[in-house]
Amino acid sequence: MVLEENERLKKLVEELQEKLQNYTNPPAHKAFYEKNKEKIIKESSERLKKLTESNPEKIKEYRRTAYLHP
């Protein structure tokens, strides 16, 4: 009974470690951003333009915060 429980828990730990590896693997994230760099830059610039049109005071606040906290 205890041995079966131990084996089951070992398998569970291995499965969870494999899943965690997907989230903590920096080279995989780096590869994603390298592949989609242009798309990410384009989307962020569009978001910034939309924010500039709708709320210019927020842009000033973002820039001031970035200036104060380099």
**Parent domain of 8:** 1-35
pLDDT digits (tens, 9 = 90+) for 3-59: 999 999 999 999 999 888 877 767 766 777 888 899 999 999 999 899 888 988 988
| Structure confidence at residue 68 as a pLDDT band (50, 70, 90) | confident
Q: Are residues 45 and 63 in the same domain?
A: yes
Same domain for 18 and 43, yes or no, is: no
Structure tokens at 8: 């089951």
Whether residue 50 is found in the same domain as residue 26: no
Largest alpha-carbon pair distance within the chain?
66
| Residues 50, 24 share a domain | no
Sign of torsion, CA 51 55 60 65? negative
- pLDDT, residue 32, reads 79
